[in-house]
């Protein structure tokens, strides 16, 4: 009886204290279920699905229909499979892709161009470019007509390197890596991918997690193992201990981030966080609906003797996206609590995001959505500091049947820092540079009506989000020098740009001013090699 009363009491407390954060439905029908989502430096968001999915919900512009004998489902296709989404008005513009981009990889390079690589069938070795343009201009996908990948890559992962080139790793039954633009070495064997490949009869190492460490070397995580690759010599510099618990890569799809790099340690320390995953048998035996992994592992990849520290999440998660929030915390969003990636292979949606706080290693459950985001769903950080959520299609074609219909709705998750009660603490950018050179000092001016704590300036990259992993995601806490009051409520902040390109590859970043953990709207800044003229 006593226990029952306590339980009722706790339930009432829980109901009275609403979980933090809120949701907004931005659009009912974006036309496509976005399997790959990327924020562009023009402030729009690129959505990309695959070509052989049959009719989508949005037509191509007149004259743009695709007539391709290599396309197996719709040889003559007047439907779009990629769109450009504009936050604010929440509108979409159809884009044209020529060959199959299914489960592909991508990266944004120094001039802001999105480079997409591989896919399946006729698109499996293609390289495609999307060069963002000003609103009103009709920029579109362009397929490279002269150069292809060295081999077909389906479920590969990309990472921009310090020299600005793209490292492309793996793919189904492909145990190599290569570079875009290509290097004389061509494709290089990576036995690590073979070793982590067939352990339980499934490929559990697809879409490996890649993180560019501040040394310029690349941390590669596949299944439960990880190595450090020198991309220039090809040497494997380290083999890390195996993580405990379930395997973590597709189809046992967990996720991973490198925690924000920090000026406080001279940007030398890199800590990897891997969360979620699925039972070894979840993909081969989907009927059982095994509970997903409830653990995360933390590994300081730059330490002398790195060991995994295991943490427990409030509930299990598979197929959850991980996003570095502008206040340095980590959001886990989307996914399910049972099963694995793959068509119809998961259940029990993880409707509540969770925020991990690296300072005290705690997890806080957030307000839930009512829209399940299962296989093939995505999430990205917007300049507004909101999280855009798009996609979810656990079917071969667009199929609008319960319980998990193909999802065309676009939502935003608003972390608690966007609550109006923090508006007086929110920095508004008055002036900021559009370019900063490595190691240079720059000044940013913000207004804050009622500042409470110190300022932080953080750079956030624009990753390629697909299959729960944001390829190329990184965040930097910049060094702040003098802060001076220049007018009523106005502060001029002197800061130092990243020291070199292994800490932050050249390109466009969202520059967030953060005050007392409350971020303002980001301004766009291009990190460049030499001082602008």
Ligand X SMILES: *[C@@H]1O[C@H](CO)[C@@H](O)[C@H](O)[C@H]1NC(C)=O
Q: What phi, psi does 416 have (nearest 5°)? A: -50, -30
CB of 410 to ligand X, least distance (A): 9
Query: How far, rounded to the nearest angstrom, does the alpha carbon of residue 368 sit from its chain's CA centroid?
Result: 20
How far, in Å, CA of 193 to CA of 221, rounded?
10
Of 28 and 533, which has the nearer Cβ to ligand X?
Answer: 28
Of 25 and 485, which has the nearer Cβ to ligand X?
Answer: 25
CB of 4 to ligand X, least distance (A): 40
How far, in Å, CA of 17 to CA of 11, rounded?
10
Of 418 and 459, which has the nearer Cβ to ligand X?
Answer: 418
- Please give the DSSP secondary-structure letter assigned to residue 198: B
Stretch that binds ligand X, among 21-29, 108-116, 292-300, 416-424 (CB under 6 A): 21-29
Stretch that binds ligand X, among 25-33, 244-252, 256-264, 416-424 (CB under 6 A): 25-33
How far, in Å, CA of 326 to CA of 336, rounded?
25
Select the residue interacting with ligand X from 1, 15, 16, 28 (CB under 6 A).
28
530 binds ligand X (CB under 6 A): no
Select the residue interacting with ligand X from 6, 7, 12, 25 (CB under 6 A).
25
CB of 412 to ligand X, least distance (A): 11
Torsion of Cα atoms, 36 then 37 then 41 then 42, to 10° = 110
How far, in Å, CA of 101 to CA of 426, rounded?
40
Q: Is the peptide bond before 271 cis (omega within 30 degrees of 0)?
A: no
Of 246 and 411, which has the nearer Cβ to ligand X?
Answer: 411
Stretch that binds ligand X, among 23-31, 218-226, 252-260, 448-456 (CB under 6 A): 23-31
Of 69 and 233, which has the nearer Cβ to ligand X?
Answer: 69
72 binds ligand X (CB under 6 A): no
Select the residue interacting with ligand X from 21, 23, 27, 94 (CB under 6 A).
27
Q: What phi, psi does 423 have (nearest 5°)? A: -60, -35
Stretch that binds ligand X, among 24-32, 50-58, 316-324, 357-365 (CB under 6 A): 24-32
Of 70 and 307, which has the nearer Cβ to ligand X?
Answer: 70
Query: How much of the chain is helix, strand and coil, in % rounded to 5?
Result: 5, 40, 55
421 binds ligand X (CB under 6 A): no
How far, in Å, CA of 459 to CA of 477, rounded?
7
Binding residues with ligand X: total (CB under 6 A) = 6
CA dihedral over 372, 375, 376, 382, signed as positive or negative:
positive
Of 75 and 449, which has the nearer Cβ to ligand X?
Answer: 75
CB of 325 to ligand X, least distance (A): 24
Of 46 and 371, which has the nearer Cβ to ligand X?
Answer: 371
Query: Which residues in the 323-382 window bind ligand X by CB under 6 A?
Result: none
Of 122 and 230, which has the nearer Cβ to ligand X?
Answer: 122
How far, in Å, CA of 88 to CA of 489, rounded?
27
Of 27 and 103, which has the nearer Cβ to ligand X?
Answer: 27
Question: How many CB atoms are closer than 10 A to CB 357?
Answer: 14
List the one residue out of 320, 458, 459 whose CA is nearest residue 379.
320
CB of 27 to ligand X, least distance (A): 6
CB of 414 to ligand X, least distance (A): 15
Note whether 337 and 315 are within 8 A (CB): yes
Stretch that binds ligand X, among 22-30, 200-208, 505-513, 523-531 (CB under 6 A): 22-30
76 binds ligand X (CB under 6 A): yes
Residue 41, both tokens = 């430096």
67 binds ligand X (CB under 6 A): yes
CB of 83 to ligand X, least distance (A): 16
Residue 505, both tokens = 């590859």
Of 87 and 277, which has the nearer Cβ to ligand X?
Answer: 87
CB of 47 to ligand X, least distance (A): 16
| DSSP state letters, 116-144 | EE--SGGGTT-EEEE----TTS----EE-
How far, in Å, CA of 156 to CA of 105, rounded?
6
Of 9 and 76, which has the nearer Cβ to ligand X?
Answer: 76
CB of 118 to ligand X, least distance (A): 25
Q: Strand, helix or coil at 165? A: coil
Strand order in the sheet with 209-212: 209-212, 218-222, 225-229, 236-239
How far, in Å, CA of 451 to CA of 313, rounded?
33
Footprint of ligand X (CB under 6 A): 25, 27-28, 67, 69, 76
């Amino acid at each position: 009886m006593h226990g029952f009363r306590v339980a009722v009491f706790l339930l009432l407390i829980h109901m009275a204290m609403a979980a933090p954060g809120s949701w907004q439905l931005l659009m009912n029908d974006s036309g496509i279920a976005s399997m790959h989502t990327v924020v562009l430096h023009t402030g729009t968001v690129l959505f990309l699905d695959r070509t052989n999915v049959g009719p989508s919900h949005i037509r191509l512009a007149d004259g743009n229909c695709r007539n391709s004998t290599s396309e197996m489902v719709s040889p003559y296709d007047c439907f779009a499979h990629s769109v450009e989404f504009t936050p604010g008005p929440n509108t979409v513009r159809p884009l044209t892709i020529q060959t199959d981009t299914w489960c592909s990889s991508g990266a944004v390079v120094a001039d802001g161009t999105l480079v997409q690589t591989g896919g399946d069938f006729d698109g499996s070795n293609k390289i495609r470019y999307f060069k963002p343009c000003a609103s009103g201009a009709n920029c579109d996908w362009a397929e490279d007509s002269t150069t292809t990948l060295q081999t077909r890559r389906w479920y590969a992962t990309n990472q921009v390197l310090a020299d600005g080139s793209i490292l492309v790793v793996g793919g189904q039954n492909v145990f190599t890596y290569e570079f875009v633009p290509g290097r004389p070495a061509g494709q290089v064997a990576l036995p690590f991918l073979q070793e982590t490949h067939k352990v339980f009869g499934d490929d559990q190492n697809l879409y490996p997690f890649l993180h560019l460490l501040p040394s310029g070397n690349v941390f590669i995580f596949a299944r439960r193992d990880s190595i450090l690759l020198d991309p220039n010599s090809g040497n494997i510099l380290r083999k890390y201990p195996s993580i405990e618990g379930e395997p973590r890569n597709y189809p046992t799809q967990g996720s991973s981030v490198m925690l924000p790099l920090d000026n406080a340690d001279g940007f030398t320390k890199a800590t990897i966080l891997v969360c979620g995953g699925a039972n070894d048998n979840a993909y081969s035996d989907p009927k059982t609906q095994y509970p997903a992994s409830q653990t995360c592992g933390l590994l300081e990849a730059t330490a002398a003797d790195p060991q995994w520290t295991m943490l427990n999440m409030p509930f299990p998660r598979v197929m959850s996206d991980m996003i570095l929030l502008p206040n340095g915390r980590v959001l886990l969003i989307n996914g399910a609590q049972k099963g694995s990636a793959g068509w119809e292979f998961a259940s029990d949606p993880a409707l509540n995001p969770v925020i991990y706080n690296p300072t005290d290693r705690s997890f806080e459950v957030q307000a839930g959505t009512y829209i399940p985001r299962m296989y093939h769903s995505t999430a990205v950080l917007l300049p507004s500091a909101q999280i855009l959520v798009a996609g979810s299609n656990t079917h071969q074609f667009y199929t609008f049947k319960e319980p998990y219909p193909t999802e065309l709705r676009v939502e935003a998750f608003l972390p608690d820092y966007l609550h109006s009660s923090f508006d007086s603490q929110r920095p508004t950018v008055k002036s900021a540079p559009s370019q900063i050179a490595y190691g240079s000092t720059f000044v940013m001016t913000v207004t804050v009506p009622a500042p409470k704590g110190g300022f932080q300036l953080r750079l956030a990259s624009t990753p390629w989000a697909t299959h729960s992993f944001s390829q190329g995601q990184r965040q930097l806490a910049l060094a702040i020098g003098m802060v001076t009051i220049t007018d009523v409520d106005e502060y001029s902040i002197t800061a130092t740009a990243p020291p070199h390109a292994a800490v932050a590859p050249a390109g466009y970043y969202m520059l967030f001013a953060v005050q007392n953990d409350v971020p303002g709207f980001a301004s766009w800044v291009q990190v460049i090699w030499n001082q602008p003229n």
